[in-house]
Amino acid sequence: MTDAQEISVGEILASARKKKRLRYKKLSSELNIDEIYLIALEEGNFDLIPGGEAYVKGFLRSYAKKLDLNPDDVIDNYLSSRKGSLKATKKLSPKDQINSNPKNLPKIGLIATFSIIFLLFLGVIFREYESDNQKVTNTVETSTTITSNDSNETNDESTLLILKPDENESSESTGDLITAINSDLDSQASALPLEETPLYRIDIKVYGDCWLEVFNENKRMIYNLAKEGDEFVLNESKVKIIAGNFKNVEVSFNDKMVNLEDYANTKQVSCIVLPSGDCSDFRTADS
């Protein structure tokens, strides 16, 4: 094994940064990547990067270019070291994996705290939603009962008028009359207009490297690491958009700008459902 292969990808990045005397704050501003992710790349904590391996590769490529390194060599080094680390991790128990890296302990505690707060918040919303649904159900049942009674009375009278034959008419003419009435009712029912689901225009413009996932109610339509200059135009009744490194993404809904920062977490990942809805409740037809 050569010396170049023995050096980890994190050490290569850290060494190049120190030679150029660059600080994380300046690099974070120029690359639009949070400082904690730059540190994670240099320390080899790739699991802290949101969006999975594709997103890690995107960060490595941007960081390598900024440090005048060959991006392909850096990514190859990462993939090689990643395979080795995965084999080593399989031999450790979950408890040993945490203890082997004490830096993970405060981060895990912080994540657990946010998770508990988020679950409590969802519980409050769910109880209010159930309460509103129960009120609506009671109202609908009451309205349905009244309508049903009125309908039954009308139907009884109509049945008596149709089925009661005139003494001077034959049973054959009565049957023809009933058939004609049923045919007319079927024609009126088929002529009723069908309710159409409205479609909305969603424009997505990319101004820098970012991760994009877009779903409609049937499937996932977009799932890739977008580049500067990419544009997507959708016409859908409802969509869910997940944008990693959301500051590089611009979304407009029916020509009205959407502020992704209002829906972002601390890891620069924004999730929104348009025209309305909660990301955790959104489901596609094949999920």
| All structural domains of the chain with their residue ranges | 3-90, 200-281
What does the block give as tokens for 14? 């850290």
The torsion region of residue 206 among left (phi > 0), alpha (psi -120 to 50) and beta comes to beta
pLDDT of 278 over the 80 cut: yes
pLDDT of 62 over the 90 cut: yes
pLDDT of 184 over the 90 cut: no
Tokens 């990045």 locate to 13
pLDDT score recorded for residue 98: 45
C-alpha span between 72 and 22 (Å, rounded): 22
Q: Smallest Cα–Cα separation from 240: which of 256, 225, 260?
A: 260
Question: Model pTM?
Answer: 0.36
pLDDT: which is higher, 223 or 68: 68
pLDDT tens digits along 250-261: 999 999 999 989
Share of the chain above pLDDT 90, in %: 36
Instruction: Provide the pLDDT confidence category of residue 283 given band limits of 50, 70 and 90.
Output: confident
C-alpha span between 135 and 78 (Å, rounded): 57
CA dihedral of residues 214, 219, 225, 228 (deg, nearest 10)? -50
Instruction: Provide the pLDDT confidence category of residue 34 given band limits of 50, 70 and 90.
Output: very high
Q: Smallest Cα–Cα separation from 64: which of 54, 46, 50, 76?
A: 76
Q: Smallest Cα–Cα separation from 62: which of 241, 205, 248?
A: 248
pLDDT score recorded for residue 66: 92
pLDDT tens digits along 100-118: 454 444 555 667 677 778 7
272 and 249 in contact (C-beta within 8 Å)?
no
pLDDT: which is higher, 89 or 211: 211
Q: Please tell me which of 23-32, 82-91, 158-167, 278-287 the model is most confident about, judged by mean pLDDT.
A: 23-32
Query: At the fourth CATH level, which superfamily is domain 3-90?
Result: lambda repressor-like DNA-binding domains (1.10.260.40)
